[in-house]
Chain A
Amino acid sequence: MNSAPIDVLVIGSGPAGMAAAIQARKSGSERVLLVERAEELGGLLSQCIHNGFGLIYFSEDMTGPEYGQKFIEKVMDSKIEVLLETMVLRLTADRKVTLCNRNGVQTLAPKSVVLTMGCRERARESIVISGYRPAGIFTAGTAQRWVNIEGYLPGKEIVILGSGDVGMIMARRLTLEGARVKAVVEILPYIGGLIRNEVQCIYDFNIPVLLEHTISNIHGIQRVNGVTVARLDQDKNPIPGTEKFIECDTLLLSVGLIPENELSFMAGVDLDPITGGPIVNERMETNVSGIYAAGNCVHVNDLVDNVTLEGEKAGQNAAEYASGKASQEMRIKLEAGENVRYVVPQMITGKREVTIRLRVKEPGRDVILRVGDIMAKKLKVVKPSEMLNLIVSAKHLKEIKKRTDKLVMSCQKES
């Protein structure tokens, strides 16, 4: 390996990591190192064989592997150094990165680091459903890997808890493979994922959906042999007498994604308790100097295109940092107000145009999205499952009063 110091080290080669690495090279970094724990580049894109990728970034409807391949080729063409099957064991606040692979353990000192570790799925063990501990309970993503990459079906008769996108996509996928999806069970009164998936994964195949229901029991000691579903009251407690047994051999869970931030935590990166990811400014920079973050490890996105765009921003700024450019003062704090669950970035300069991403808490129609008192935008519909992108122009930002150090984002019913 080259003995010159590494400019930018990117942890994780999913869509955010690949975009960050490519952009860092484009922005002039000589040595960019992309570290991936799996056997191939691309993160989870290779198992997401469904379409719907690239509609924004490429204006084209692509599958996950196709979308990934475009970036894998760019990584290869732009002389980015790649380490596969390599785990980052440690990250320190002064950017010492300890890597481990079949060649050994080594500690590198890159000039800047981009965190793009993605997210993990909430597992059965952390959601506390009454029952034994049988085989046959999978997170939707793990099931997706088995079905689409390894070539095995987790089961033949399936119940899915949670109507997030991965859950719905697996409902269609398993139905197409000849399995029977007997129900998609959702705690909320509405489907959790994108409308496209609701129609094309659920309604297209007449898959029964049980809204405002939960799974109260998992049956089976060694292998799942059924679940009990129950209707929920307003406080989300099962209503006695509404229990119904559904025979099945497999339970899939699509009950939430959690940003992967063990390394961020080790390095002393401040995390947002709501997103579960690093608090970042508009340059995707964390509180730790020289450490940037992007993609699902910052907040869980619903469109890969946004992840790519965020990765590019982090890569470019990490490259600038590596070349000695000083960071700018982030004076204005963005705060989540009424019916806003979170805002990313959480800090801005207030001087340049900025893209704000946010999620609402509750669905609503005919609402006004406000950025402090400087901007208001009417929206016909908002849903927690559809992330909102809002571009706040420099012109609007000029309206910020001198002393103001925060802007509250709110989403209120139009009066």
Chain B
Amino acid sequence: MKKWLNWFRLARLENDLDRELSYHVERRVQDLVDAGASAAEARRQATLELGGLTQVREEVRDVWLTRWLRDFFYDLRFSARTFRRNPAFTTTVVLSLALGIGAATAIYSLVDQVVLHALPVRDPQRLVLVDWNGDQVASGFGSWNLMSYPICRDLQQQGRFFEGVFCRAEARINLSVGGEQVPAAAEIVSGSYFAVLGVGPALGRVLGEEDDRAPGSSPVVVLSYDFWKTQLGGSADVLGRKLLINQHPMTVVGVAAPEFRGIDVGAVPSLWIPASMSAAAIPRFEEQLDRRKRWMQVLARLQPGVSLIEARTGLQPWFKAMLQEDLRRAGFPAITAERRQRFLASTLELTPAPQGHSSLRRRMAQPLWVLFAATGVLLALACLNVAGLFLARGAARGREIVTRLALGASRGRIGRQLIADSVLLAVAGGALGVAAAPLAVRALIAFLPGDVAPNALQSTVDSRMLAFALLASVAAGLMSGVVPAIRAGRGVLSVLSQRGAGFSGGVRLRKAIVTLQIAFSLILVIAAALFVRTLTGLLARGPGFETTRLISFTLDPVRNGYNPMETSRLIRRVYEELQAPGIAESTGVTRFALLTGGSWNDPFTIQTNERTTTDHDINVNAISPGFLATLGVRVVAGRDFDAHDSRPPGQSGRRSALVNEAFVQHYLRGRNPLGVRIGEGSGPDAVADVEVVGVVTNFSYRGMREKAEMVLFPMFEGDDGGGTFYLRVRQTPEAAYSSIRAAVRKADPALPILSFRTVDEQVARSLTNERLLAALSTAFGGLALLLSLVGLYGVMSFVASQRTPEIGIRLALGATRSDALWLVLRDALLMIGAGAVIALPVVEALGRLVESLLFGVTPADPATIAMATLAMVLAAVCASYIPARRAAMANPVDALRFD
């Protein structure tokens, strides 16, 4: 490695060596002259003894820098000189490659951070996610891969396979560090969490088994390093301080290691709470020890030497026995025989989890891979473009190369020179790409919706990103340099034989390259068209209600210590305050916010002439009077809720429900839905006694794609856990915010207003993936189109100028201009056609991979493909028309005089 540095001080080394050798020679000459030799004779002998000065110099140079390395540096220097003389060519090539490498590097950085990067914990490769495959006969809340806390405890006994097991759940808490309440992200973890991960404290201690003995026993928290630094100023006296978490005082016992940010790259917790305190972290949650409540992810560390397969197989006997035991356990719900079957057929699934568990990864992995593949295609396209340019330049350099060959350079040596050319340019392009990539990554991260829990994504250049960029650059350099290099070696004979004509420029090869380019860009253009149609389709369809001037915010009083009854009262109070004139045209409340990805859902029992149960969970929500009117959801049969539908506090049992059209269509087809009785649950003990009083139009609940069956109950029933308000306003959201703030303050000055935003914004957030894919695929498609058109234009210009004499002859013999035009254009159309023929089967094959990302359009949608192909063909014809016309318009006389 040190040798490389010698390259930069070569001039000084040479100078020193010259002095050193001349000193030697002169001393020797002096000695010989003193001994009686003539000056000339002495000089001859002195050099002879050394075996020739040039020879010595060359050998010493080999010491400084290994021969091949030196040659390579000379090649690079020669390349750099040539490129300085050719700024237009150099700029085009470097920019093409910078574009390709920059885009690939930026997306790779996200793929790496979201999908690939292992957690900064001890030996992450041995971490596995434990999941229940089958029906748990349990109700749940949270994201994915949920299990109960007691199962985690059971698994901890399986020491034969696991070195340790922990469980965790995300929680949003109201946190007060001394003053105002702010929403914050927390991770509820079993006592084994830090020990199994191998994460230590930066200060104080981390949570341990002693914090997780019995519910409510250990009101302590560990802070994340970032939270400690940014929110508490990194003060050393933080240990022992009391924080209010949802009004529960908890003591800070430590700060976790700086590099550790939890196990979810998409949701970084501010603090960790032991599972024993989950009732404090999740209001009204008393089911920590309930085996039929799934709410935590379970992860485990495999014993050294135990493979994942061995652990999975080895655990099944225990698991099956546990299922049987569960069935006999007191409190196991009454279920149908069929469901019992499904329960008993469950298996335990283990998957590698060196990257931890992340909802963000689950949502983003597929779109990111698709985008990464797209940048790969784009980079390949850029390389093809550069290869084309090199071929064209190779044609111009033909004479130089022939001369060098004639002077005795080997073909390998010249090929190496050409490779050095392209590698140098690719590395320059790569450097530019890496410089630009962080900006792109920052923009992409900003695309992701922010939440209470920030994500851990960063836009800094790290070593993995650099390694990728370097790899991509060298690969790009080789890819774009190899073909021209091989050609250069072969073209020699043809040059020598057809004097003056120069290289043919490898026209056939260049045509092949352009054909491939057209194929690649057509693939990207079709992909862009599909993703844009998905997004516009979803936006045009809308969520099933009017979003203009609609704003929403959430209140979560239970986290401020309200009980259910008080919560209901508070929500109703704020609802009534907001009815005051001048605030909003209309206001409505719903138990759960729309378009956030989550929903309340349950199976239902339906009582008509016969009793049936739904075949899957039905979305459920509770709404206030005026909610439907505020959103503009129509009641198509029966009536909306009125004040009489909410049961008075203290009474139990719901009285009425609304269902949507999808529910009627699916379960009450051909019946009058009004008066039908339904009930939550599908077991034999479920009671269907709630009357359907109306039918509403379908609208989206979880996300924009879905308008599934839905049941709506009335709000204000005395057991509400909170609510999201929807207001149709006249003024700006900012102006509305201050009146809302005032109304909420009147009800409770300490209550934070959460997730205040316009519904349009919420729509945009819920379409993050779709927007990301549409925006980036359009950008990539556009760039690809541009690159291939440049390539096409270049080749067509060459072809046209080559055929100008022929065209001249034809024109002189009476061919029309349009004949001549056609002659050249035919070549272009052939390439375009061949490109399409290559691209379309590939699109067909790749379509399956993106099918789940599309909406309202199939990957093989003929209209979309036809439109994209047509656009591509038109653009390509335009690009080749210009050189073709130039050739056709040539004066026959000039054309014939061409050579």
Q: Do A and B come from one complex?
A: no
